[in-house]
């Protein structure tokens, strides 16, 4: 059949080059600094992560009363869930337009349009990895609940590294001792790890509480009557106490299409009221091997043609999982009730 696989642009070597180019062009995301990408050839890497780090395995449920199953089954299911994939289908109408192009430039434009869809598939895979990294960093957990399968993994953030301030004694109170909070948490962090935290992550909303804090406004030397400090003022006051600079996570959510329902869903990967202390050395994001990638780690992009129905399909898959090897390098504080 006259699909797309006979075209050089959609044969394996070209598609492999397209993946490599897209990966090379990717702008480094915040999570990459704490969970850098690492290739592994282990076909049981999800199991290895769970077993070696003693993560808290979960129940996998089919129905209202999910049965408790053993760790090996949980690990196996986690390995399956760790495989990600998307595909783009070129319809019969698109194939007709491609093969009936009136000029080489028109045909080239059609090929470029399909190639762009292939690039978008790779970028979507990268987006999923970025979101998963941030969820692991800011939540300390991995949760999956789709299509009748539920898995919940806890990466083992120490209990004394989890704090939740109560209403009336939190950052919603403009006179609250926010610097005292940050110092106390940094001290706990240093006691546990032998080092000060390298980064403080928080949402724009949480940072906004600091700009209105009367203690920070006073120490920033703002004139009497001023009710808000600048971002630079906040950073300067925090830094004067030997605390690391604050990184504002401006985009806390991503909107994606649910492949099971077709509806848009919002994934919040950074809780609004959470402050996160984190340092390099936290762990890695493991890319595992796939059959589609000739048993090599990384993102695979392949094209194939079908007869019934007549379609040409570009398919992207990868296998990956966050491996947090030093969970004590995380500290989570919920600083107000949103």
Residue 278 has pLDDT above 90, yes or no: yes
Of the two residues 25 and 78, the one the predictor is more confident about is: 25
Mean pLDDT of 129-135: 91
User: How much is the pLDDT for 305?
Assistant: 87
Query: Which of 171-185, 247-261, 277-291, 320-334 comes out lowest in average pLDDT?
Result: 247-261
Query: Where are the domains positioned within the chain?
Result: 1-338
Stronger pLDDT, 126 or 95, i.e. the higher one: 126
pLDDT at 73: 40
**pLDDT value at position 267?**
83
pTM: 0.83
pLDDT in tens, 109-123: 888 888 888 998 899
Query: So what's the architecture of 1-338 in CATH?
Result: 2-Layer Sandwich (3.30)
H-helix segments, 154-249: 178-193, 204-211, 214-219, 231-240
Longest dimension (CA), the chain: 78
Quick check: 1 pLDDT over 70? no
pLDDT tens for 172-197 read 999 999 999 999 999 999 999 999 99
pLDDT at 149 over 50: yes
Residue 114's nearest CA partner among 257, 255, 311 is 311
């Amino acid at each position: 059949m006259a699909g797309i696989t006979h075209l050089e642009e959609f044969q394996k070597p070209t598609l492999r080059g397209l993946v490599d180019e897209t990966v090379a062009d990717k702008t480094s995301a915040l999570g990459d600094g704490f969970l850098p990408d690492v290739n592994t050839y282990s076909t049981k890497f999800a199991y290895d992560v769970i077993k070696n780090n003693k993560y808290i395995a979960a129940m996998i449920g089919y129905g209202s009363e999910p049965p408790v199953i053993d760790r090996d089954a949980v690990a196996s299911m986690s390995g399956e869930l760790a495989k990600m994939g998307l595909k783009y289908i070129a319809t019969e109408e698109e194939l007709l337009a491609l093969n009936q192009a009136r000029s080489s430039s028109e045909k080239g434009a059609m090929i470029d349009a399909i190639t762009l869809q292939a690039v978008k598939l790779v970028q979507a895979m990268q987006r999923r990895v970025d979101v998963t990294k941030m969820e692991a960093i800011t939540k300390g957990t991995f949760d999956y609940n789709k299509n009748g399968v539920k898995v919940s993994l806890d990466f083992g953030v120490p209990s004394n590294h989890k704090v939740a301030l109560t209403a009336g004694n939190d950052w919603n109170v403009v006179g609250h001792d926010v610097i005292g909070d940050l110092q106390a948490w940094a001290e706990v962090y240093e006691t546990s790890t032998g080092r000060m935290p390298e980064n403080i992550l928080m949402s724009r909303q949480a940072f906004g509480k600091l700009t209105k804090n009367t203690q920070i406004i006073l120490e920033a030397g703002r004139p009497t009557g001023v009710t808000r400090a600048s971002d630079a003022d906040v950073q300067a006051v925090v830094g004067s106490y030997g605390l690391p600079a604050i990184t504002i996570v401006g985009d806390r959510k991503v909107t994606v299409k649910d492949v099971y329902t077709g509806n848009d869903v919002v994934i919040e990967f950074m809780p609004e009221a959470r402050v996160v202390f984190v340092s390099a050395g936290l762990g890695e994001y493991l890319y595992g091997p796939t059959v589609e990638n000739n048993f090599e780690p990384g993102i695979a992009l392949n094209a194939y043609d079908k007869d019934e129905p007549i379609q040409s399909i570009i398919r992207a898959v990868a296998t990956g999982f966050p491996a947090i090897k030093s969970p004590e390098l995380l500290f989570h504080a919920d600083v107000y009730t949103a």
